[in-house]
Amino acid sequence: MDDYYRNKISQCPKYIEWTSLSDKSEMYYCKQYYRKPDDEIKLLAHIKRTIVTNDRATLKRKKPKSESLTYDELLEKVRNNDVYKKFMKLEHGKMISYDCKDFVSGNADHVLKLMNRISNRMNCNKRRTSALGDSVDVEIGKRGTVVADSVGVDVEIEKKETPLWRC
């Protein structure tokens, strides 16, 4: 065990409690009883596992989020999207609804939000289709019936007035 974990374990309240116990006494830690001289190595291993797990969780929380795309990158990504083209053709002040949100043409903030929403939807669709291996052909029927054909498997799902995919 290296110095980092020795130092962390020595600061652990349960280990401090363990060192103050007399021989042949027991301590309860994480749903297990540990007897003083016999189970010291087991207890140290368990405390170390807990420390390692918590360190990983801390690192994951501290990991910086991915930066959002710049306006130019978003424009490059969504410029051929039908919804974006339709939005750009709207008269000033008219609204379009996309993904349960309303966007007003002529509002610079709404243009950016729409571009982000389209980009996120495109990323979500990429993940969904790449997870299935081959691309998925989805046909939406008149009454909301969805037929998906992927890798030779036919699936039919009956949906009424609910969106197909939410990311």
**pLDDT tens track, the chain, 167 positions:** 677 888 888 888 888 888 888 888 888 888 888 888 788 888 888 888 888 888 887 777 777 766 788 889 999 999 999 999 999 999 999 999 998 899 999 998 999 999 999 998 988 877 777 666 554 444 444 444 444 444 444 444 444 554 555 54
- For residues 102 and 79, state if they share a domain: yes
Both 21 and 40 in one domain: the answer is yes
- Give the helix, strand, coil percentages of the chain, each rounded to 5: 50, 20, 35
Residues 90 and 48 placed together within one structural domain of the fold: no
Q: 35, 26 in Cβ contact below 8 A? A: yes
Phi, psi dihedral angles at 135 (to 5 degrees): -70, 155
**pTM for the model:** 0.43
The answer on 127 and 74 residing in a single domain is yes
122 lies in the same domain as 140: no
Domain that holds residue 154: 135-167
My answer on whether 106 and 77 are in the same domain is yes
Q: Which amino acid is at 108?
A: A
* One domain, residues 17 and 58: yes
Using CA atoms, how far apart are residues 64 and 86, in angstroms rounded to an integer? 35
Res 1: pLDDT:
60
How far apart CA 6 and CA 12 sit, in angstroms, is 10
Number of domains comprising the chain: 3
The whole-number pLDDT of residue 165 equals 54
Indicate if 75 and 120 belong to the same structural domain: yes
* Burial (CB count within 10 angstroms: exposed 0-12, middle 13-18, buried 19+), residue 130: exposed
Q: Indicate whether 21 and 46 sit together in one domain.
A: yes
Mark whether 76 and 100 lie in a shared domain. yes
125 with 143, same domain: the answer is no
Does 115 lie in the same domain as 158? no
